[in-house]
Amino acid sequence: MAPPPLLTLQNITLTLGGKPLLEAADLSVSPGERSCLVGRNGSGKSTLLKIAAGDVEPDGGARFLQPGASLRYLPQEPDFSGYSTTLDYVVAGLGPTDDPHVARALLLELGLTGEENPARLSGGEARRAALARTLAPEPDILLLDEPTNHLDLPAIVWLEEKLASLRSALVIISHDRRFLQDLTRATVWLDRGRTRSLSRGFGEFEAWRDRELEEEERQQHKIDRRIVAEEHWLRHGVSGRRKRNQKRLAGLVEMRSARRRFVAPTGEAKLEASEAQLSGKLVIEARNIGKSYGERVIVENFSTRVLRGDRLGIVGANGAGKTTLVNLLTGALAPDRGEVRLGAALAMATLDQSRASLDPQTTLKDALTGGGSDFVEINGERKHVVGYMKDFLFGPEQARTPIGRLSGGERGRLMLARALALPSNLLVLDEPTNDLDLETLDLLEEMLADYPGTLVVVSHDRDFLDRVATSVLMSEGDGRWIEYAGGYSDMIAQRGEGVQARTNAKPAPVRTEDKPKTAARPKTAAKPRLTFSEQHALAALPAKMEELRAKKEKLQRLLDDASLYARDPAKFAEVSKAFAQAETELGAAEENWLELEIKREEIEG
């Protein structure tokens, strides 16, 4: 017999601002259960979790927590007021029987000393301190609202392993697909104020959700057809006015009432990038660039070429210098040494992860139009700002809403809307997935797949990088950056491990005699070198690749002629064969060049 639930919510209702947010929401948490709470931004997930934590009182429904059961809640925006150090903040969350040494140990594991001033914490440090406070008591129930926000990849992997080792029941809200797939065994879907449950983890949720929506659509279609048939009977059937058929008339009234009560699923976001003219084939070329701040080396002797259509992902621990590297590659920051050359006809649009460019007093409409206009120009066409807002799931009534009153997810969608409205052939996205719901993430990935320009993206979202990136630039420490073909999983397969945490800024001093001998710089004579043939190939391959691309484009123009096959089938077959051969040769040349370039960078590094 299954143990009774530790926590239950039944028929929870809540109205905010005159609009029902939760109408019949249920939640049940059993001992050791691992659940995720999913739904669109604004659907009420965080509010339902606050009700479960006891921080918000619902308008109706019941909340029951088993006597003696311990519960801890991780909010999206923790309150540090009243605490002088991070250790004070964490220890204040302990119970009478909890061990304060565990709190200090957790802070150290998360890269904090406990002496930090909470008022001066970065977003990532604040999230780590809040996690330490939540995890230290090892409660029966953990309610986690976006626990991976502002964390780098090493911290996310650490958190996964930590949560997997706990006996606590989990309820998690997160936009990180990989995180949810690895940890959850049940899913609660909050949709239009109501909850539906799936007794399987997030990995199977999306297919189940699509089936549910398809079935709902079929049922509503049947009701619509029945209403049409009954209305026809009412207008044309003489018997419809007889007393014995009043029951049938009442049934029609009830069907109409049910149809009015039915709330269709919220419309999908429509993401479309405003495209500029094509850039040159070479977008960015960096040659032996370096950048340091004092004694700390951010980039050392780094070279790369970014070609039109590339999708470059940049990963590394917090503080590795990812944003600095992006600024160097895009010309926003000058290198200390080396040179960066930008290609011709570049039109760049950027998404800033800090959201710092958003003035909280500016209205949503003015943020999208720049003020003084009601229109946004997308791909040369003027579009009314309200219509553009709807594409990003904003209601018309939000046009004059100050940005400061938007949720984190809404601010994320606004930043995307601003970036995509700018004509561009180079998109630079710094943590674009922060605070976005999963469905908007799907649409962003589809838009980026169709985007004809070049993409440079900094992200800690492993699944997003696997779906979007064609190569990943990885921080290897000490200013070394190496590019790996494929997405994040491909990078791990080639490298043998994922992103590691940076060493503490003030490591314990190490005596010279205690340093491992393997740390000594190898002698020049023993240093591996490229062979003469490899050096020749590395120099010749870029020109060969450009030649093959030009050949492909020429053949493609011939194939684009719809009348070619009808005029000359033999020539069409000949051109098709030549196109396929050029494509194969180009792929082989690109792969060969990439392998040699990686080898050269490893040697020079």
State the Cα–Cα distance between residues 599 and 605, nearest whole angstrom. Answer: 10
In a domain, 268, yes or no: no
Residue 34, H or E segment? strand 34-38
What's the CA gap between 234 and 242, in Å, rounded? 11
C-beta separation of 406 from 414 below 8 A: yes
Instruction: Clarify whether residues 553 and 464 are in a common domain.
Output: no
Contact 364, 399 (CB under 8 A): yes
pLDDT for 312: 93
**What secondary structure letter does DSSP report for 409?**
H
Model pLDDT for residues 118-148, shown as the tens digit of each residue = 988 888 899 999 999 999 999 999 999 999 9
CA 370 to chain centre: 26
Residue 519 within any structural domain of the chain: no
Residues 312 and 163 in one domain: no
1 within domain boundaries: no
**What is the mean pLDDT for each group of 10 consecutive residues in the chain (605 residues)?**
86 86 93 93 89 95 95 93 94 90 92 92 90 95 93 91 94 93 94 92 90 82 66 51 51 54 53 65 92 90 91 88 91 93 87 65 85 77 84 82 78 79 85 78 81 89 89 90 89 79 42 36 45 72 85 82 76 81 79 75 68
Is position 272 within any domain? no
Q: Residue 516: inside a domain, yes or no?
A: no
CA-based Rg of the chain, rounded to a whole angstrom?
29
Q: What pLDDT, on a 0 to 100 scale, did the predictor assign at position 504?
A: 43
For residue 373 the two structure tokens come to 């206009």
Give yes or no: residues 174 and 248 share one domain: no
- In contact, 403 and 411? CB cutoff 8 Å: yes
How far is residue 589's CA from residue 587's CA, in Å, rounded to a whole number?
5
Q: What is the CATH number of the domain that holds 45?
A: 3.40.50.300
Do 45 and 135 belong together in one domain? yes
Are 182 and 248 members of one domain? no
Of the residues 261, 296, 330, the one at which a domain ends? 261
Q: Residue 393 contacts by C-beta under 8 Å, 6 or more apart in sequence? A: 40, 41, 42, 266, 267, 269, 413, 440
Same domain membership, residue 595 and residue 474: no
Residue 515 placed within a domain: no
The predicted pLDDT at position 450 comes to 79
Q: Which of 161, 102, 112, 165 is nearest to 134 (CA)?
A: 102
Indicate whether 229 and 196 sit together in one domain.
Answer: no
Q: Which two tokens stand for residue 330?
A: 């895009």
Q: Could you give the CA distance from residue 321 to residue 296 in angstroms, rounded to a whole number?
A: 10
| In-domain check, residue 266 | no
CA distance 390 to 417: 11
**Residue corresponding to tokens 């809404």:** 410
Nearest CA among 138, 128, 133, 195 for reference residue 169: 138
pLDDT of residue 134: 96
Q: In 3D, which of 127, 120, 114 has the Cα closest to residue 159?
A: 127
For residues 416 and 372, give the distance between their C-alpha atoms in angstroms, rounded to a whole number: 21
Alpha carbon distance 551, 553 (integer Å)? 5
Burial of 252 (0-12, 13-18, 19+ CB in 10 A): middle
CATH of the domain at 573: 1.10.287.380
Domain co-membership, 255 together with 403: no
3-state SS, one letter per residue, for 276-314: CCCCCCEEEEEEEEEEEECCEEEEEEEEEEEECCCEEEE
3-state secondary structure of 476: strand
What is the phi-psi region of residue 39: left when phi exceeds 0, alpha when psi lies from -120 to 50, beta otherwise? Answer: left
Per-residue confidence (pLDDT) for residue 263, from 0 to 100 = 47
Q: What is the 3-state secondary structure of 496-548?
A: CCCCCCCCCCCCCCCCHHHCCHHHCCCCHHHCCCCCHHHHHHHHHHHHHHHHH
Residue 280 CA: distances (Å) to CA of 203, 308, 329, 421, 553: 41, 7, 16, 22, 14
Pairwise CA distance, residues 304 & 485, whole Å: 13
Please list the residues that pair with 15 across neighbouring strands: 20
Hunting for tokens 């050791």 — which residue is that?
A: 32
pLDDT digits 0-9 by tens, 488-511: 888 888 887 776 655 443 333 333
Q: Indicate the SS3 state at residue 419.
A: helix
Distance of CA 594 to the CA centre of its chain: 27
Answer whether residue 455 is part of any domain: yes
The answer on 189 and 148 residing in a single domain is yes
SS (H, E, C) 58-126: CCEEEEEECCCCCEEEECCCCCCCCCCCHHHHHHCCCCCCCCHHHHHHHHHHCCCCCCCCHHHCCHHHH
367 vs 414: CA distance, rounded Å: 8
Residues 344 and 230 both lie in one domain = no
Dihedral sign for Cα 499, 493, 330, 385, please: negative
Q: What is the pLDDT of residue 553?
A: 84
Domain, as residue range, for 388: 282-504
Domains: count for the chain:
4
How far is 486 from 43, CA to CA, in rounded Å? 35
* Same domain as 432, residue 553: no
Rounded CA separation 226/220 (Å): 10
Domain shared by 287 and 254, yes or no: no
> Are the C-beta atoms of 471 and 311 separated by less than 8 Å?
yes
Q: Coil, strand or helix: which one is 396?
A: helix
